[in-house]
Each structure stands twice: as C-alpha cells, then as structure tokens.
Amino acid sequence: MPMNDVATPHAPLLPGDRATKRTVVRGMFSAIAPRYDLLNHLLSFNVDRAWRRRAIAELRWERAPHGAYLDLCAGTLDVAAMLSKQPGFGGRVLGADFAEPMLRAGRGKAAGDVVTPIVADALELPFPNGSAAGAIVAFGIRNVSDLDAGLREVHRVLARGSRLVILEFSTPRQPLVRALYHLYFHRVLPVVGGIVSGHPAAYRYLPSSVAHFPAEEELAERMRATGLADVRWTSLSFGIAAIHVGMKP
C-alpha cells in the first residue's frame, strides 16, 4: 500500500474501522522501522529517553524483580532494553508488537535471554491470564485499533497487584505552549520526519493520531472502566506527554 495514500494531516486512519486501521498502521510502522529510533530522538530533542526512564520507574518492578514484564507495542525495544538493564532487575521482558520489522530493528539492544521479542497484536496477546508482573506501553497505545479492548486485554494478562504504565503524547493546556507545540507538531515534524524517513504520510499520521487520542482525564477513566484501580496521571514537559498508572487489584 503506497504510504502517501494512508493518512492525511487532519484525519485519523479510519478509527471506526478496526481491521483497516490495524492493517494500515502495521504497514506504516513496518516501513519506517529502519529510521524510527533516529527520528524519535531527533524530533524529541532526546527528551524521549528521559520520559521512558520516568515511565519505567513508575512500573515499580522492584516489587517483583524476577517476574515477567510486558512491553506492549514495543516497537524497536527501547523500553524493553532499558528495563532489562536496570540495576537489580533479574526477570524477563516480553516485547510484543504486531510490526515484525520494528522488532527486528531493535535486535541487539539487550541480551536475548532477558528480552524476548514476540510478534503479537495488542488485542490478542499470547499470554495466560495473570502471567505478567507488570506492563508498560510507550507511545503505542494510541495506535491500537480498539483502545478499550486493548486495555481489557492488558488487564487480563496482569497479575493481581501489578501495574500498567502508559506513556503517551498529550496536548499542552497552557495557551502559549500549546501554540508552539501545534506549530512544531503539525508543521515542522511532518516535514523533517517525512524527509528523513522517506515516508511523509507516517509523520502526518503522528500529529493526527495524537489530536484524536483521549485527553488525560478520559484515558484515566477508561483505564478505571477495565477494572484498574488507583489510576493517576502525571504531565511531562509542560503537557507534551503524560504518564498514566493503574494497578490490577
């Protein structure tokens, strides 16, 4: 499917059509996999690394340092590798993503006996009920074709007392910051991302998907609706991103 035909600057990828969105998003991320890491760090001015560290800290993996942890929508395994290298971590990280080229692009970031990449859809995880000591998803939950079904599926695989941590883009509330954010996110980022990646539609999709993603309060409420408890969220970098945390009671 030609990349120029899959997205427009102002419309998400057929959010009401689950099968179509799944197919298109998987193809898009497969296509940009070779330049994905470079552009993540370049376009975020490397702030994304600090955001990921904050999210991993919220996972509270020290509670079960030898458990199996799920990195959902794992992409190129940045979070999985970072978690696996935490001092004292002795468990395993299962990096699940439905775009196999993304997982292949992350090979070598961590030892194979600690991080296991698994080609799997977030809506149909190949893990038993209550098998995960925790789950984290960084900048991927907005790409899931059915958000509520995805949250329910993560809830299913979490063990009691374990946490789900979501790191995702958000829209700043402060007017001046929001204006600058929109200028960069909707004008600069798509041009630079398109030139470097060779797939301009993918970087038009990014701001569109963020604009159509639920605000922080709504996402928190939808997490609660799946049965997660103690749900809270924290803004990062003037509201450019947010971390949501919930626990399976």
Average pLDDT (79-97) is 97
Give the whole-number percent of the chain exceeding pLDDT 90.
Answer: 73
Q: Is the pLDDT of residue 14 over 80?
A: no
pLDDT value at residue 20: 77
Query: What is the second-level CATH architecture of the domain 3-247?
Result: 3-Layer(aba) Sandwich (3.40)
List CB contacts of 63: < 8 A, sequence separation 6 or more. 133, 161
Average pLDDT of the chain to the nearest whole number: 91
**Residue in the structure block whose two tokens are 């458990």:** 67
Quick: pLDDT tens for 137-195. Answer: 999 999 999 999 999 999 999 999 999 999 999 999 999 999 999 999 889 999 999 99
pLDDT at 12 (0 to 100):
40
Question: According to the 3-state scheme, what is the secondary structure of 56-91?
Answer: HHHCCHHHCCCCEEEEECCCCCHHHHHHHCCCCCCC
> Within a 13 Å sphere around the CA of 60, how many CA atoms are in the beta-carbon half?
9
Cβ neighbours of residue 65 under 8 Å, at least 6 residues apart?
A: 88, 89, 90, 91
pLDDT band for position 133 (50/70/90)?
very high
Closest CA to 86 of 107, 59, 113: 59
What is the pLDDT averaged over residues 216-244? Answer: 97
- The mean pLDDT of 107-136, rounded to a whole number, is 95
pLDDT score for 41: 84
Q: What is the pLDDT of residues 194-213, one digit of tens each?
A: 998 888 888 888 888 999 99
Per-residue pLDDT at 47: 94
**What residue spans define the domains of the chain?**
3-247
Say which residues have a Cβ less than 8 Å from residue 187's Cβ, sequence separation at least 6. Answer: none
25-74 pLDDT, tens per residue? 898 899 899 888 888 888 888 899 999 999 999 999 999 999 999 999 99
